[in-house]
Amino acid sequence: MDRKAAKRVAVVGAGTSGLAACKHLLARGFRPVVFEAGASVGGLWTRTLASTRLQSAAAGYRFSDFPWPEGADEFPCHGQVVEYLAAYARRFGVDGCVRLRSKVVAAEYVGAGADDAELWAGNGEAFGGDGAGRWRLTVRHADDSHDTTQTYEFDFLILCVGRFSGVPNVPAFPAGGGPDAFRGPVLHSMDFSDMDDADAAALVRGKRVAVVGSGKSAFDIAAECADANGAELPCTMVCRSPQWLLHDVSVWGGLHLGHLYMNRFAELMVRKPGAGMASSLLATLLTPLAWLISKLTEAYYKKAIPMREFGMEPELGFAGAIASCKIGMLPEAFYDKVRRGGVVLRRSGNFSFCEDGLVLDGADGGCVVVPADLVILATGFRGDQKLRDMFVSPRVKDIVAGSPDTTVPLYRECVHPRIPQMAVIGYAESLTNIYAIEMMAKWVARFLDGAFRLPSVRRMERSVAEWGAYMRRSGGERFRRSCLGAVNIWYNDELCRDMGCEPRRKKGLLAEWFQPYGAVDYADIQ
């Protein structure tokens, strides 16, 4: 039997990262098994509102060797994205590896510990030195009649579970001020998005809806409620910290944001992790230019979008939003719905429940009651808890996601230095996630194929600490999201050097420094 085919590799999740991981493992001769809890491939995109669109243009949100079909929208809608991912799975034979309705409920490493190891897995290789270590997965399979639970063993585990699903983040409330005090239904955006489109529409129709949140999902839900009920029963959106939600990705007469923030010259203005003293000095010298670009970009969007008129001007500067991945796309004609009265925007630092709705802290120290029949909490997810809950070992639970004071400790954003024979793909964010995810998948597949070894555990931990310091510096209070937005090219350079590939992918000096980088630039790396 072929050595690669004999190695048992499990992939958990069949979203964008799971599909990419499986595709590149297949290309290198492995035969992975992909466990997907849902009924189809596509991950989070199979559980979003029908009106949801991509936050980045199709030209940037694509796999390097699989273009969108002709006729796709510039910002494809939910259905087009689901079909694109399904077509990718069919094209590369990934669908034949996926076991649908199969939820991994427990993962346990069986083998020698790694606490005191000098080299990852004993020798820095994917499958370890003696081959004795393995992952034991407990999987619950669901079908139309009953559920069954089975146990499997694998030589390597790849987690592609993402961080925006699974475990909802529900705020803490004072005694007597939680959802139990409200006489109507309260649900998280995850539950609302999981509903059938017709059922979701029926739930909000004819009701006063309050949506709590300031991210993309809150805007999408508020827009849907406005479409259903209009100004007669307006949807109130309660927002604490407005984010940069854009109507377009071009500024000042057609200059694409990629030319400002997604090329090598832009990254010269960033203090990159592990880049050395000269790079940090150059970034410091270019600070005035970075500030000017950010301010000019902010000025354009503040003029083009009535965010100031409705009290939705972000406190975070535009460059900071890029560096912390706090940017999204507005639902179509969102502020027109606000002007027509279908959406009412309210700012509040804290809120609680009362029998008739929500109680908001007023700017003057008083309280304001927002009447509601239904409350939807678009308050994010606890991705770290979702990651921890997968594991049996208390030790792994304790270290896999780091601490509240650190980023998730992944070398190259893929490998935990002290958890052998396991990789994570897609946990770090980017401005166009497929772009980052696919490079991670290529790196992991080549690692499993023996193209390179990992450095010592201590060296990996030093690198993790450097990247963690960068994330804290650039990401502010949300640094644990591990955003690659402002350093994606630098990150890809490191992956390329590991894989033995040329990091500079453009033809010509000007193109190399000033043209935006994207997934297509790395298409020949398989």
Residue 345 is predicted with a pLDDT of: 96
Q: How far apart are CA 475 and CA 4, in angstroms?
A: 40
Enumerate the β-bridge partners of residue 367.
361
pLDDT digits (tens, 9 = 90+) for 381-426: 888 888 899 999 999 999 999 888 888 999 999 999 999 999 999 9
Alpha helices (H) in 391-432, listed in sequence order = 394-399
Residue corresponding to tokens 């849902």: 38
Residue 131 is predicted with a pLDDT of: 67
**pLDDT higher than 70, residue 327:** yes
Contact 351, 361 (CB under 8 A): yes
Residue 318 is predicted with a pLDDT of: 95
Determine which of 172-181, 189-198, 356-365 has the lowest per-residue pLDDT on average: 356-365
Portion of the chain with pLDDT greater than 70, in percent = 97
Sheet arrangement for strand 351-354: 351-354, 357-361, 367-371
Q: How far apart are CA 309 and CA 334, in angstroms?
A: 14
Q: Return the half-sphere exposure (C-beta side, CA atoms, 13 A cut-off) of residue 321.
A: 21
Helices 78-91 and 16-27: angle between axes, nearest 10 degrees: 20
**pLDDT higher than 60, residue 363:** no
- When pLDDT is averaged across residues 254-273 and rounded to a whole number, the result is 95
Q: Return the half-sphere exposure (C-beta side, CA atoms, 13 A cut-off) of residue 349.
A: 7
**pLDDT higher than 80, residue 159:** yes
- From residue 30, alpha-carbon distances to 21, 448, 515 in Å are 11, 9, 35
Across 355-432, where does the E strand assignment appear? 357-361, 367-371, 374-377, 422-424
**pLDDT higher than 70, residue 193:** yes
- When pLDDT is averaged across residues 80-92 and rounded to a whole number, the result is 95
Pairing of strands 209-212, 255-256: unpaired
Sign of CA dihedral 408, 412, 413, 417: negative
Residue 1 is predicted with a pLDDT of: 47
**pLDDT higher than 80, residue 126:** yes
Query: Helix, strand, coil: what percent of the chain each, to 5?
Result: 40, 20, 45
Smallest CA-to-CA distance from 159 within 419, 406, 380 is with 419
Residue 116 is predicted with a pLDDT of: 59
Q: How far apart are CA 135 and CA 227, in angstroms?
A: 48
**Backbone phi, psi, residue 385, to 5°:** -65, -40
Token output for 467: 């990247």
pLDDT digits (tens, 9 = 90+) for 453-500: 999 999 999 999 999 999 999 887 777 778 999 999 999 999 999 999
Token output for 273: 């992790």
Residue 3 is predicted with a pLDDT of: 64
Residue 366 is predicted with a pLDDT of: 62
How sure is the predictor about 433, in pLDDT bands with cuts at 50, 70 and 90? confident
Q: Please, is 63 exposed, middle or buried when counting C-beta atoms within 10 Å of its C-beta (0-12, 13-18, 19+)?
A: buried
pLDDT digits (tens, 9 = 90+) for 166-179: 788 888 898 899 99
| 255 CB-near residues (< 8 Å, 6+ apart) | none
Residue corresponding to tokens 């592609």: 160
Enumerate the β-bridge partners of residue 357.
354, 371
pTM here? 0.94
Q: How far apart are CA 404 and CA 380, in angstroms?
A: 16
Provide the 10 A C-beta neighbour count for residue 183.
12
Cα angle, residue 99 at apex, residues 97 and 103 outer, rounded to 5°: 135
Across 9-76, where does the E strand assignment appear? 9-12, 33-35
How sure is the predictor about 164, in pLDDT bands with cuts at 50, 70 and 90? confident
Contact 20, 47 (CB under 8 A): no
